[in-house]
Amino acid sequence: MKPATNELSDEVLALGLEQYALELNNDGITTVPPQVTGVSSELIDRCTEVLLNRFTEMTGGCPITLAEGPTGKLKWPENHTSVLRDENAPPEPTQMLIQQLLQLDRCFRDLAVNPVVDALIDHLMGPVSSIHPVAGKARRLSSTNSFVKWQGDYGYGKHLGLHCDQAASPLPWAKASITANATWCLTHYSKKDGALAYVPGSNKLLAMPTQPEAAEQAVAAEAPRGSVIIFAGSTWHGAFPKLTPGLRLNAVCYYRHVAALPQENMKITMRDQPWEDCDNPELMGELIGFKDKFPYEVQSETVPMFSKAS
C-alpha cells in the first residue's frame, strides 16, 4: 500500500477541493457544504423520507418524525447487547442502525457516487501499487448505513465512544487510510443535537485513542443539513449524547482500501440489485468491486492444458 502524500490529485484540483484535502491532511476530518458537493435539498429530503419509512417498517410500525423522533414505545429484544459494556442492562433505545442503504433507493446510490466525495476519499487512500491486480484507485465501498439517533442522556458514555474505524487492521498503520467515512448530514449537526465527536489531528498519531485524554480533547463536528463530513479511518471519533428533542439523522458511506475486508459483501448483495440506477453506473460498479480479482468465487487464474503427444 502506497502511503498518502500531500500531493493533490488532478480531480481534487479540477474540482477546487484543495482546502478540504488539506484539512483532511491536518485535522483528519473536513466538512463539505452542499453548494460544493452539488447535492440538492430535494435529494436530502428524499433520503430522509425513505429512512423514516424504513424505520417504521423495521420496528414493526413505530411512527417517527424529524421533529419528535419515535412517537411510540420501543424496547430492545432480549438478546440485545449494549454498547455501554459496564451496564447490567441495555439502556432505553435512543439509536438504531439501518443497513444496506444502496438497496433501498436511488437517492443513496447517488450520494455514493458523488464526484466531490469520491475525489476526497481517493485523496485519503492514494493509488494502488502498479503491480497490484487492480492497479489504479484504491477506494471501494465497505458498507452504507444510517444512524437514526434521538434524545437520550447516556450517549456512548463518558469517553464518547471514541475509536478508530480501522482498528481491526494491525499496527503500525501507514499514512494512507485503510478505511474512510463520508457522513451525509440529513439533519443539522450540533453538539447538543448529538453531533459527531472527534479529536483534531489525531489522524497523525496512527494509533488508537488513549483515555481520558481523548475525551477531554474531543470537539463537535457541527454542520448544516446537507453537508458531508469526511474523515480518515485513523481519526479518533465518536459522538456526543443528543440532548434535544427530534432526530439526528445521517446516511453514511463507509469506504475501504481495496486490500481491506468489506463490512458488506456487495459483490454478492448488490449483484441482483439496481446498482446501475444512479448518476454514475461505471463508478458504482468500481466502488462495489464487480471487476476486482479478489475475492474470487471460481478459479480465476489461467490453467495450462495438457497437450497429448500425437
pLDDT tens, residue by residue, 155-179 = 688 999 999 999 999 999 999 999 9
Tell me whether residue 174 is in a domain.
yes
Alpha helices in the chain (DSSP H): 10-14, 18-27, 34-37, 41-58, 106-112, 115-125, 213-217, 266-269, 281-288
Tell me whether residue 251 is in a domain.
yes
Q: How far apart (Å, rounded) are the C-alpha atoms in residues 212 and 197?
A: 14
Tell me whether residue 307 is in a domain.
no
* 1 — pLDDT class (breaks 50, 70, 90): very low
Domain count, the chain: 1
Q: How far apart (Å, rounded) are the C-alpha atoms in residues 289 and 297?
A: 13
- The pTM assigned to this predicted structure is 0.92
Tell me whether residue 239 is in a domain.
yes
Tell me whether residue 164 is in a domain.
yes
How far is C-alpha 286 from the geometric centre of its chain's CA atoms?
A: 17
The CATH number given to whatever domain includes residue 218 is 2.60.120.620
Could you tell me which residue, 126 or 25, shows the higher pLDDT?
25
The pLDDT of residue 5 is: 44
Task: Tell me the helix, strand and coil percentages in the chain, rounded to 5.
Answer: 25, 20, 55
Tell me whether residue 3 is in a domain.
no
The pLDDT of residue 135 is: 59
pLDDT at residue 86 above 50? no
The pLDDT of residue 67 is: 97
Contact assessment for residue 146 and residue 182, using Cβ atoms and an 8 Å cutoff: no
Identify the domain containing residue 103 by its residue range: 10-288
pLDDT digits (tens, 9 = 90+) for 114-154: 999 999 999 999 887 665 666 579 999 999 999 999 998 66
DSSP secondary structure code for residue 158 in this structure? T
pLDDT at residue 259 above 50? yes
265: Cβ contacts below 8 Å, ≥ 6 apart: none
Tell me whether residue 309 is in a domain.
no
Mean pLDDT, the chain, whole residue set: 91
Tell me whether residue 296 is in a domain.
no
